[in-house]
């Protein structure tokens, strides 16, 4: 039986392809050029490239893996059992990562945990010591290029900021016209309304709710929230200035010392005096969000309780659960319930529904259970190998004789594993299920994490409506009372 160069086992090499193109790169790095080179390499090396596992990130930097959605999707897919492919093909190593930390972390994860290798189709690297050094040099050069390019781009953006030019998307109240900010009358009226109401004594939350009730929406079509109102009130762009942070994202740190604030070239929506009056109110604390109450802590019902009006999450405020969307101005009803009252209602309902106990899966850590899981994983892998054998025959990679031989070998192993699992399940079935004594009693004691694990394995969600004074519990299908 043949063995492939990347993993032990049955014959076939199946590959994924990863393609990345930055906005500043040339035609030679286009998706078409990269995929063409990868397909040529795969054909020459008898590798089957899986169309469903071609991952493309366009207009993305290689500096951070987490900012590349297709890359992260590929990594998550690679971790599945059984693994869906044996190797990842890239045009060059710098397509995989321009950050040595990311390169080491993800390559190690793929090789050690998934037995998947990353191969550059244009850079010939073997498995010897010298090749390892060469690969590291190539990655270091890619990272240097990326850092240098980033610094040059940042220099240009900094100069642009000092000239009072806009660096990002137009905020509400403006639109872009040939690279310049121009006033959008409809949005400008909303901005003026926000400043007028805030200076008149309304809080950001009250303003958000008022705008929503009037039918206004954000530029992205969503409901206004109090934090968006604060951002508008703190943005000097509306009184003619441009704000930018050359060190990175500012978030809501409006007093960040790195901020560059320069007079812009665009038309003002409000005058400077109005903006300054709003900032004075903020300094007095009027616009600051309320601090979390002292002693606030997690609770075993966190993540399960929903608002009966908007279906949004209800948060633990220390002594009560309250609708998060109401606090953000997105829900019309102030659904709030005291923690003690909520616990009493939930436990009473559980006692009513599961008075004699509830049967739940019990994941034992003993050797027999781990062996059962291991054999189950091997069975799934063999089933996948059987599909791959057929696919290799259909695409002409293997002859009919080779396919029959491989099919017979794999099916024999599958039959053995199925019998072993059947016997284990018969002998140990009692170990895989346990009876939790009256669940409401369990939830009265024990630490928060333990109680959360118990109830979240039974309860899908808890819906509370203050308006109707009702509490509805939805269970998972396998735990219906």
CA distance 455 to 300: 8
| Report field, pTM of the whole predicted structure over 0.75 | no
- What is the tens place of the pLDDT at every residue in 73-120? 998 898 888 889 999 999 887 777 755 556 666 777 787 778 898 888
CA distance 135 to 119: 11
Cβ neighbours of residue 335 closer than 8 Å, sequence gap 6 or more:
307, 308, 309, 314, 322, 323, 326, 464, 465, 466, 467
- What is the tens place of the pLDDT at every residue in 346-404? 888 877 777 655 554 444 444 455 576 677 778 887 888 788 778 777 766 667 887 88
Q: Are strands 117-120 and 87-90 parallel, antiparallel or unpaired?
A: parallel
The count of residues in the chain is: 481
Q: What pLDDT sits at residue 325?
A: 84
Structure tokens at 271: 């005058």
- Answer yes or no: are the C-beta atoms of 31 and 18 closer than 8 Å: no
Is a pLDDT exceeding 90 seen at residue 53?
Answer: yes
Element (H, E) at 192: helix 185-199
- What is the tens place of the pLDDT at every residue in 22-41? 755 544 568 888 999 999 99
- What is the tens place of the pLDDT at every residue in 122-166? 876 655 555 555 555 555 555 555 555 555 556 656 566 566 666
- What is the tens place of the pLDDT at every residue in 401-423? 878 888 888 888 889 888 888 87
């Amino acid at each position: 039986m043949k063995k492939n160069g990347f993993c032990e086992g049955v014959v076939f090499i199946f590959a994924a392809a990863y393609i990345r193109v930055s906005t500043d790169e040339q035609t030679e790095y286009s998706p078409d050029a990269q995929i063409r080179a990868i397909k040529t390499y795969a054909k020459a090396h008898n590798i089957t490239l899986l169309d469903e596992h071609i991952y493309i990130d366009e207009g993305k930097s290689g500096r951070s893996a987490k900012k590349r959605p297709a890359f992260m999707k590929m990594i998550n897919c690679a971790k599945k059992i059984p693994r869906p492919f044996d190797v990842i093909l890239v045009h060059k190593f710098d397509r995989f990562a321009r950050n040595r930390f990311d390169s080491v972390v993800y390559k190690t994860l793929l090789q050690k945990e998934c037995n998947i290798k990353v191969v550059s189709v244009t850079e010939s690297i073997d498995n010897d010591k010298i090749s390892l050094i060469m690969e590291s040099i190539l990655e270091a050069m890619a990272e240097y290029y990326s850092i240098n390019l980033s610094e040059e781009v940042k220099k240009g953006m900094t100069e642009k900021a000092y000239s009072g030019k806009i660096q990002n998307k137009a905020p509400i109240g403006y639109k872009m016209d040939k690279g310049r900010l121009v006033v959008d009358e409809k949005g400008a009226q909303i901005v003026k309304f926000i400043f007028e109401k805030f200076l008149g004594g309304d809080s950001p939350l009250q303003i958000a709710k008022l705008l929503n009730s009037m039918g206004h929406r954000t530029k992205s079509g969503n409901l206004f929230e109090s934090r968006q109102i604060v951002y508008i009130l703190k943005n000097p762009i509306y009184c003619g200035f441009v704000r930018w942070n050359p060190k990175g994202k500012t978030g809501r740190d409006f007093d960040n010392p790195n901020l560059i604030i320069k007079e812009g070239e665009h038309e003002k929506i409000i005058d400077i005096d109005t903006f300054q009056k709003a900032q004075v109110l903020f300094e007095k604390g009027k616009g600051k969000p309320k601090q979390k109450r002292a002693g606030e802590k997690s609770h075993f019902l966190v993540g399960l309780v929903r608002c009966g009006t908007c279906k949004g999450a209800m948060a633990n405020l220390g002594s009560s659960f309250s609708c998060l969307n109401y606090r953000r101005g997105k829900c019309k009803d102030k659904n709030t319930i005291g923690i003690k009252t909520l616990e009493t209602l939930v436990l009473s309902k559980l006692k009513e529904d599961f008075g004699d106990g509830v049967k739940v899966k019990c994941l034992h850590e003993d050797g027999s259970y781990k062996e059962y899981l291991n054999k189950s994983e091997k069975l799934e892998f063999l089933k996948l190998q059987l599909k791959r054998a057929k696919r290799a025959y259909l695409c002409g990679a293997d002859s009919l004789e080779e396919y029959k031989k491989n099919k017979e070998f794999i099916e024999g192993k599958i039959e053995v594993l199925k019998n072993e699992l059947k016997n284990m399940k018969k002998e140990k079935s009692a170990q895989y299920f346990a009876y939790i004594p009256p669940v409401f009693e369990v939830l009265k004691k024990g630490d928060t994490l333990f109680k959360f694990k118990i109830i979240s394995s039974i309860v899908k969600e808890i819906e509370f409506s203050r308006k109707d004074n009702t509490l509805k519990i939805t269970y998972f299908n396998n735990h219906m009372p």
